[in-house]
Amino acid sequence: MANLDRQNYNAQAGSGALIDEGLRTHMLRVYNYMGIGLAITGAVAFFFSQWASSSQDIFNLVYLSPLKWLVMLSPLAFVLVLSFGINKMSFATAQLTFWAFATVMGISLSSIFFIYTDASIAKVFFITAAMFGTMSLYGYTTKRDLTAMGSFLMMGLIGIIIAMVVNMFLQSSALEFGISVLGVLIFVGLTAYDTQKIKELYEELDGSEVMGKKAIMGALTLYLDFINLFMMLLRLFGNRE
């Protein structure tokens, strides 16, 4: 009887170890996709801004003409396509769409190099990375259920979006400062919540195709948390040209 109990314990321990190893591999895949996406966005933003700065025609076309709205809103289209169409896509298509999204986001964000100094962009990026890493680690390791916090943060996010739309007409610096402060708090919290959610969605028995698409969606979620946190911090601490 004792031997049987020991065998059951060893089997359970072995199963738990396999799940833990699988989860770590999955999360590493998520972070790798996210990191590559950020690298693509950063490189495209920098080199596109350099191209635009050397060509007045490109600068006028992308940043001053009505085309700027297409540049600004096209990343949202990719997010919607991935969010609502991921189940119908193959993993290869989802992966290609994510890389295309990261590229288009880079073009959209290239304008920051004309607004803020390169040094302050780099400084804020490292601050963002430190804050994101800390909160993502917390979300991964905490035993606390963050579901209630996530629901509260999502309501706050909706409020911020509404406030940003209103401020497009008001152009209030005080309101912009308040939005940025609240935005930092919200996206710091969402980083922990989303990390825990990605962890909980992991299923050991998922096939490679499903697992791959889960990794893409997890990377997209954390990528958006990082980018939005970065932009909020940049508005607070970035030094303007």
With b meaning 16 or more CB within 10 Å and e meaning fewer, what string describes 77-108?
ebbeebeeebeebebeebbebbebbbbbbbbb
Q: For 49-78, what is each residue's pLDDT tens digit?
A: 999 999 999 999 999 999 889 999 999 999
Q: Are 61 and 123 in contact (CB under 8 A)?
A: no
Q: Give residue 241's pLDDT.
A: 75
CB of 195 within 8 A of CB of 150?
Answer: no
pLDDT of 19: 57
The pLDDT of residue 20: 80
Say if CB 222 and CB 167 are below 8 A apart: no
Instruction: Provide the residue range defining the domain that includes 29.
Output: 2-237
CA distance 227 to 235: 12
Q: Is 171 left (phi over 0), alpha (psi -120 to 50) or beta?
A: left
Cβ 97 vs Cβ 223: under 8 Å: no
| pLDDT number for residue 3 | 55
Q: What is the pLDDT at residue 204?
A: 79
Number of domain units in the chain: 1
Residues of the chain with pLDDT under 70: 1-19
* pLDDT at position 34: 98
* pTM summary value: 0.90
pLDDT of residue 138: 96
